[in-house]
Amino acid sequence: MRILVTGGCGFIGSAVVRHMIRHTDHSVVNVDKMTYAASEDALEEAASDRRHLLVRADICDLPAMREVFATHRPDAVMHLAAETHVDRSIDGPGPFIQSNVVGTYTLLDVARDYWQALPPGEKTAFRFHHISTDEVFGALGADDPPFTETTPYDPRSPYSASKAASDHLVRAWHHTYGLPTLVSNTANNYGLWQFPEKLVPLVTLNALEGKTLPVYGDGSNTRDWLYVDDHAAALTKVVETGGVGETYAISGRQPRTNLQVVHAICAALDARVPDPAGPRSRLIRFVADRPGHDFRYEIDPSRTEAALSWKAPHDFEAGLAKTVDWYLANRAWWEGVRARRYSGERLGTEKKVAAT
């Protein structure tokens, strides 16, 4: 297939592009606005592969999107482009509404016109796969059962509300216009090439440099963790074999509290590059909780595992080991990211707290 991937230079998007080029015969048209969190380096060998094409464009730009569809004639769309950082959405929700809601609407409208004009065989085969988050389901209590594909929506932050809105738009375009859509909701991703404002890289880099490791509240907030390469493989299966109108809840069955994650990173670094000053857990500081901080997310992926014949191969410890090793081996990349793209913001300040 020729697959249009939006946000293909972002963290999850680049993992999807790498997976497609390495493990399938598909070709990829990669549409990315190249905002602060995008990295062409993350494409690795896919950047120069003949089956990959990078188009620098904004998904909110209607004429540009029409041109992309008309020129490259995709067989499927995998829509990953989004603003994703909760703290940023609290500080300034506007870009989240624009990218996540208006951008998704623009893509849907262009995709609908394009799909309706396809010849019958191509029209039947076309797919629009929208990639979303478990945060749209709201927060779980300590004893609540995990989220599933049928959990009611209850978003709590500007970020999750914007993603919930985009999910609803996708389903509305399917039910109203017949556009063959699929939706997937995923757990927290971690792994290679993640922008260093998210929990795992933030803590890894701060701990490596002996900086404070700020943790919201008492660190008991719980997230379900999924190694990004495992997620990319699952997303590929969804777009290849998923049922039209279906939803797929994807996770690695690896719930951890934020404090457990921070301690695991400290232990991994201590084992690899011991700090003469002592165990890095000494750097942990508990800070005031952020507004509306959801207590727990967890996904039951049973239906997805059965439908796709897929199960995440990495447990959290194995995935974290690969991730920490990668950041240790790629200092030049993340130092460059922090120097060029943070516009004065520093990872060591308590504004960028270690929670998700």
pLDDT tens for residues 156-211? Answer: 999 999 999 999 999 999 999 999 999 999 999 999 999 988 899 999 999 999 99
Answer yes or no: are the C-beta atoms of 11 and 194 closer than 8 Å: yes
What's the chain's average pLDDT? Answer: 94
Q: What is the pLDDT of residues 206-264, one digit of tens each?
A: 999 999 999 999 999 999 999 999 999 999 999 999 999 999 999 999 999 999 999 99
- Does residue 4 register a pLDDT over 60? yes
According to CATH, the topology of domain 2-191+226-253+296-314 is Rossmann fold (3.40.50)
Looking at 135, 149, 167, 229, which residue is catalytic? 135
For residue 319, how many C-alpha atoms fall within 13 Å in the half-sphere facing its CB? Answer: 23
Residue 293: pLDDT above 90?
no
Over residues 67-76, mean pLDDT:
98
DSSP 3-state of 96: helix
Structure tokens at 57: 């464009």
Long-range contact set of residues 328-334: C-beta below 8 Å, sequence gap at least 24: 328/208, 328/272, 328/273, 333/39, 333/41, 333/193, 334/196, 334/201, 334/205
In this predicted structure, the answer to whether residue 342 has a pLDDT above a threshold of 60 is: no
How many CB atoms sit inside 10 A of residue 213's CB? 23
Among residues 134, 149, 197, 305, which one is catalytic?
134
Would you call 153 a catalytic residue per the annotation?
no
Surface-to-core class of residue 255, CB atoms within 10 Å of its CB (0-12 exposed, 13-18 middle, 19+ buried):
buried
Known catalytic residue: 135? yes
Quick check: is 134 catalytic? yes
Instruction: Pick the catalytic residue from 58, 83, 105, 159.
Output: 159
